[in-house]
Structure 1
């Protein structure tokens, strides 16, 4: 028998497509479809309202939009007698190009209970047979169901990233996007389904094998024989022996976990995510009825909370599966947040709010940080995770690196303080696998720790509204359980994998020290500046409010606003999601976020005003009357500590530290640099290397000297750039305020600070400390960090001179060596076309300062610049303070305990990467204990507090009885 592999494979594809797949569903009867388009703006309505609405007939082929609208379909008919399961098959007009992020539907029973979702690759709803829900089909075969159809547009069409207007609702005359393609009752053929999966397992395995192997030719012959068969039974029999061969003893082991990565907002608004989560969970619960081994991992307490609020009946089914261990709440965070820009306290609250919700709702505590899709990971994470009770960390995103290949998949990640946590990157390089032979082969060949481990994770299921795991994926997993030529696949819990890996590696796990820098998506540190400013200002206000209200509660017995603060925090945490804070969502998302941040600021300021006795304000955030410097002749600012001299073009040509006589400028300071910003692919996400090569000139429009400032104006087209320089008496810094009327498209704005410091590395503030990065490009990894994250400050130094650049709202920056020094360049604004073509259009104010001094001086200046501006009031006595005996440590946060006991919580940390000894000073009659980050497991502390490098300490102050 002559076998031509190419011919057999081509034949297989056509036979499956044209002969077998069409037999999976045999049409039995028509159904009647009627539609009710939700009135007004088309926003979602409760099922009870939809069930009672007036419906009009909808024919197959008719449109049911409009885009972003909601249309309810009533589907009714009579189920004919059949010896096979009967399914309702609906095609709402989907595209097969992008499984998530387009139209979706959710089937409801007539009493308003959600049952199962409809998606591009999950088009069926079972009416009879195993897994069919109760209460749908009557004794005479009649049924009626309602389908909430969401006309979400296909905003992203891989690989195109064209400018789109789909980020907002359309006008009333725009075209309808969706048509009803099919609506019918069908008999589902289990044997055909199994044959399709058998052919997938064997046919997909062939390209993964070598033609030198006997196994290859035996499978090829089995496939050919199956295609020759004249019945489904005979075709399956022809493949039986090939599928019965056991995996090799040394085969790689994969724990396969059902999953659906659902972005809390991205190419759809927050309101749509609520529906996506409910749809996905109905699919998972339906699949679990017939697949008892399926385990589904779901993160984000916020998403569970949405379902609990919107669909209590569905949530009770979820709660039951959690109790059984079938649905696993992973991550323990409120949302899958950005992992580099939120402040340290924000990351703690992501965890504390998430873990508390899981504990109170399910009696469950996750030991696994679950962040597969965030854009890089701060070096503070290992300590934060371990101090919050985690054992393991999961991500996958570094497989997207554009320059270097990360050297491990299972390793010990060491943070900036020295803490280590076992970390895993699934080697399939996806968190949305379909359990194909190609994915398994890629995972095995890609796995970089073969010498010490033979286990990995496989996360499978369509995300973002694609429906999660489906029956085809689970059937593939069953066939790859123990099959020669493939990895062994076992459906299981993620903890099962990590426990095995932990035992397997022991103390021999390779170590990666420092941050996990993603060599991609660098533009997310800047896109949508309003997200960055809203987050930074909310964090600062929350710090102030929680301290003030703690003081009032302890000293004046004023009630602490636990409920109001919890709601404020949940708002902030939600908007730290990794497509909102990074600025990579559609305009709808960011428009709503800007409005939310504005409301939140008013609410938090109201809580300040209600803090009790007037005249109280945070002791380290006093807003004092600023005594400013009058400019001298020839445009000079001089406060006796630093002197700035300006040239005729409004540039700072000299900046001298008068205490030492050192010139700090290595070139004109404060120069705005505009660059063409045209990424190759991901507009809002990426800043590409070529962008920073050639600045676009700005037109100098004049310099003006006022009573206390020097104001320089530039223009380009419709954009205006006004830079204001000022100095405060007694402060070692030059302050710069940039007011921009930003009307650019596909451009990027930086602010250049070339300073006369020679150093191989710069230090950047991160959560609870700082991180060093190279200023040179010696290696590919060094060069790849051409745009990085800094929180409030960057500092460079050489013996005898230290200079910091501080900011009030930016995160992206680059620091590179130049002739004679180092250029520090924060990135201010971008103007990407996709997914929001009007990103940041409008007026913005950003504040910076150049600071003369060491890191401690720079940090104090950053504290001051980022402090919320409150009415000037007298000081109050500190509630607690740190008295240092040696080293550097600070109190970062003061609040009342989450358990509402009235205990005071103090979060402190070492700031310089060394060691410190301090004493906590307070006039309160309290006992002091140290707890984990979630304020649990108190242990008594001695009078002197000892801090290791960048160590976080959470102290609990309990009133003596």
Structure 2
């Protein structure tokens, strides 16, 4: 329809490219309203149409002046083309439009290229017809295009690779025709619907005939009037109502916004302004629309950088039309963060929404994470959420998930109502094809008739468009299509959950983790992200515990503001394209620097707390902060002897290790029971290299065929015996290509632990490095640690689903046993592993490094360190406690424990100790059951606190538990307070309990 916009005249364009380091300036600086110290003053110069603008990642400000001549009654637009491709919305150049006083008008992208100057509520034109607008244009390079992946240096700031600049192709004043636009939308819906209907259906042919007649009537020479006549022909077929049994779809405006991905964090801040301003314009124009946005971090960025937009958002939140969803700080990775990190994602997110809007989202909203831990249902429910949403499982490469609306039951037995939008996208455009796909795909038709459709351009932002809104109106009640309604996610979830409950015995339940059969490489890519995240989590645990101890025992100030700031930084970097290692090099470079600064701050907080406590308090601590004592009967030193054929034998009376002349472990004998760990003919600690060239998703995937062809690294550059105090080991240096790998294998005297330190100078591309740990344990499953428990995964591949778990997530340990003998492998850095049965043995391979080339062509190059240890004879409690100790920072002078558990039955432990978030000075203690069984324990406090301590159980946000809550409690009746000395905990499988302990005198009356 070439007459949608009719040119009325040209405009005068001037441009100023931001100099210096190319980083953006504030709008008020670019507009000459408020100079920014240290930045060059804007110098606008004439800019000709068709000229190139902007090096990669630079910003150019355009000043556009024009005059709207009198005499035209309809809407008038300024139409721009900054040089867009007709695809990849949010994936290349974008713009944000301002008035001269700094007011944001809207964002620009390939599907939002016009600015309403006058008409339909807009008035940007002065009385004399003149106008001035500014456009902040971002020259973001197209990194994900056609074909999808190319190796490029443009993912780094200041890259020298040649960059084809964008060109200003169009800048003109044009008349907009609402009637022709409406005809376009009518034809789009009618044609799209006809294409989805079978040729056997009368409706298909009636739509086609109406379209044909409408096109016959339309006359380019008399476009406006003939468009009206064509619409009149289409009106009857677009007014036929949907069938009574038609599927119902709740459509919510959305722009799944990646906090960082193919752009740095600073660009996401600007993307938010562009997207939110467009969403607000749609809400202004259409009172029936609803828009959703997740991630408290995104709202916080708006509040900080674009307060005027945030104020407008707040008004629509109050009306229930701009809906905060998800309740998390960011849309985090669903498997890598530790349990406490996921708790803080929810507590920091929900508290932000409550403080700013007085509202608490009741759903977890994670459409695009790369798998979902089986601990999430419990965490969601204990944080006050009722529902869970994702669609990523539709990306499975092997099996089709059996449900779209179902009860997801976590590893502890907690259930949460879960929905997968059957349109199988989080960035729908409300097309007939998407709606038809949603109905055809929906797995639960027999008992459910509702689904959700998040629509709007996502990933890089953009959000809904007026065309999507027009389709939504036309599909509201239309024969041959599902009924589409605009309402809030909560309204959908309430109705869909109620409908599912009515199914009774037919209610579908899915138990355990939601394993994504794709993107398995994210567990290993960008190893530095994983190392820093693990280290920060461990340091945070120590810092919060010691700070709480210093405050409770010595009255030292609790560093709440420091800890909050650090937590928000760590949570931000757990976003599902940062921590998993799938962003551009710019993102990861900045992240490494940020992590380093955070770790230094945490070390400083730990030192300050230690100084406040003083050495006289030394004598205990919590399992994560201390190394288990060495058995008194163990020898004081590891004996070293020469074996056959140049082998070295290490022996401490508990374990005997034989390292052959080639530097491989050929025997690991548990002397306590005479059990040999290494299977005959196998080698423990064998480094294996694989060709790793994913078919499509480079940094994301490890393809199944990769693991079939290992190449053992046998070359030995050097080999020597090393000693450290009572410990002894063997250091082996190997080379592959340009890379050097140093393994130092230690027998730690008296610990029952065989430990390996691995230092790698990694220079490989498109290669995967693993270390194999074969163990003589016949098991059908292996236990991979996850948040607050473990996931039991098959070691055999009898089914396609079992085979698809060929690479899976672990946290700090993997455990196997055969009923008589157990063994654990603990680590301090890694998250990816594979484990398979091999005859009467099990082979566990830990993934160390990859060499992906997109989106960061230099991913993982450089030096890395890893540690792992084998613990023969360990059961799950021993594995858990060893994993805590193995990951703990080295600390001295720890206080006697503030809180500990005196176990009566089973096994549970104190996972976290901190001060309450409300500043009351109360202690908050998180405990959980570790074995997947049941546990009972007495709660014990430090002697200086015990006599005056009162304890009660709370939710994760440290609020009183509701009496009607259907979750199990550990302390008895919800809300009941009791002296700590009388507190007994009864925990179910993997149950998490949050305990609040008050020590101040005001609560003594409550006890009496």
Query: Which TM-score band applies after superposition, normalised by the shorter structure?
Result: over 0.9
Match for residue 573 of structure 2 among 572, 575, 579: 575
Partner residue in 1 for 2:512: 514
Q: Is it true that 1:791 corresponds to 2:811 in the alignment?
A: yes
Cα 1:74–1:298 change in 2 (3 A) is same
1:280-291 alignment, distance < 5 Å: 280-291=275-286
Among 853, 857, 863, the alignment partner of 1:843 is 863
* Partner Cα separation in structure 2 for residue 278 and residue 71 of structure 1: 17
- Of 49, 61, 77 in structure 1, the residue corresponding to residue 50 of structure 2 is 61
Distance 2:493 2:23 in 1: 42
Q: How does 1:496-535 map to 2 (within 5 A)?
A: 496-506=491-501, 507=504, 508-535=506-533
Give the superposition deviation at 1:240.
Answer: 1.1
Seen in structure 2, the aligned counterparts of structure 1 residues 742 and 914 have a Cα distance that, compared at 3 Å, is same
Identify the match of residue 325 of structure 2 among 324, 330, 348: 330
Distance 1:342 1:639 in 2: 36
C-alpha contact 1:260 1:298 (8 A) present in aligned 2:
yes
Contact 2:153 2:161 in 1 (8 A): no
Query: Equivalent residues in 2 for 1:78-97 (5 A)?
Result: 78-81=67-70, 82-97=72-87
The Cα of 1:491 is off from its aligned counterpart by 1.0
Q: Does 1:562 align with 2:550?
A: no
Does residue 689 (structure 1) correspond to residue 704 (structure 2)? The answer is: yes
Does structure 2 conserve the Cα–Cα contact (< 8 Å) formed by 1:410 and 1:509?
no
Q: Secondary structure at the match of 1:75?
A: strand
Q: Structure 2: give runs of 5+ residues left out of the alignment.
A: 33-41, 220-225, 631-635, 962-974, 1003-1008
Q: Tell me the equivalent position of 1:197.
A: 185
Aligned pair partner of 2:890 in 849, 869, 873: 869
Pairing partner for 1:157 from 135, 145, 148: 145
- Please state if 1:656 is matched with 2:669: yes
Alignment match, 2:952: 929
The answer to whether 1:772 aligns with 2:813 is: no
How many residues get paired? 937
1:287 CA displacement? 1.1
Q: Distance in 2 between matches of 1:457 and 1:759?
A: 42
- Assess if the C-alpha contact under 8 Å between 2:394 and 2:424 holds in 1: yes
> Does the CA contact (< 8 Å) of 1:631 and 1:710 recur in 2?
no
Cα distance change of structure 1 residues 173 and 451 upon mapping to structure 2, 3 Å threshold: closer
Distance 1:879 1:260, change over 3 A: same
Partner of 2:35: none
Contact 1:333 1:354 in 2 (8 A): yes
Displacement of 1:176: 4.6
- SS for the counterpart of 2:484 is strand
| 2:78 and 2:114 in contact (8 A); partners too | yes
1:701 counterpart = 2:717: yes
User: 1:821 maps to which residue?
Assistant: 841
Give yes or no for contact 1:628–1:727 (8 Å, CA) kept in 2.
no
Is the CA contact 2:263–2:587 (under 8 Å) kept in the aligned structure 1? yes
Listed one character per residue, the Cα deviations across residues 624-655 of structure 1 (whole Å, up to 9, x for unaligned) are: 99976353323112121111111221111011
The reply on whether 1:38 has 2:18 as its aligned counterpart is yes
SS of alignment partner, residue 754 of structure 2: strand
CA contact (8 A) 1:896 1:902 kept: yes
Which consecutive unaligned segments of at least 5 residues does structure 1 have? 1-19
Shift of 1:325: 0.6
Distance in 1, Cα, partners of 2:248 & 2:894:
63
Q: Residues 301-360 of structure 1: CA distance to partner in whole angstroms, max 9, x if unpaired?
A: 000000100011111001001111110000000000001000000000000000000000
Query: For 2:300, what is the secondary structure of its paired residue?
Result: helix
1:887 is matched with which residue: 900, 906, 928?
Answer: 906
After the TM superposition, which of the residue ranges 37-46 and 705-714 deviates more from structure 2?
705-714
Which deviates the most, 87-96 or 698-707?
698-707
Alpha-carbon offset, residue 865 of structure 1: 1.2
1:665-744 → structure 2 map (5 Å cutoff): 665-666=678-679, 667-698=682-713, 699-707=715-723, 708-744=728-764
**How far, CA to CA, are the matches of 1:874 and 1:170 in structure 2?**
48
1:341–1:811 Cα contact (<8 Å) kept: yes
* 1:183 pairs with 2:171: yes
Contact preservation (8 Å) 2:835, 2:842:
yes
1:622 corresponds to 2:626: yes
| Matched-pair contact (CA < 8 Å) for 2:329–2:572 | yes
Work out the CA distance in 2 between the residues paired with 1:614 and 1:138.
71
Q: Partners in 1 of 2:674 and 2:523 — Cα distance? A: 36
1:720-762 CA deviation, whole Å, 9 max, x = no partner?
1111111212211100111111000000000000000001101
1:633 aligns with 2:633: no
Distance 1:158 1:812 in 2: 30
CA distance in structure 2 between the aligned counterparts of 1:193 and 1:767, rounded to whole angstroms: 52
2:929 is matched with 910
Q: CA deviation at 1:281?
A: 0.4
Tell me the distance in 1 between the aligned counterparts of 2:121 and 2:834: 56
SS of 2:15's partner is strand
The answer to whether 1:451 aligns with 2:474 is no
- Normalising by structure 2, we get a TM-score of 0.92
Q: Deviations over 1:488-516 (max 9, x none)?
A: 11111111111111111114420000000
8 Å Cα contact 2:622/2:900 also seen in 1: no
The aligned runs of 1:330-479 (5 Å cut-off) are: 330-479=325-474
The residue aligned with 1:940 is: 976
Per the TM alignment, residue 819 of structure 1 is displaced from its structure 2 partner at its CA by 2.4
Equivalent of 1:857 in 872, 875, 878: 878
Q: CA RMSD in A?
A: 1.4
TM-score (norm 1): 0.96
Following superposition, the deviation at residue 173 of structure 1 comes to 8.5
- Conserved? CA contact 2:762–2:862, under 8 Å: yes
- Specify which of 10, 27, 30 is matched with residue 50 of structure 1: 30
Deviates most, 572-581 or 159-168? 159-168
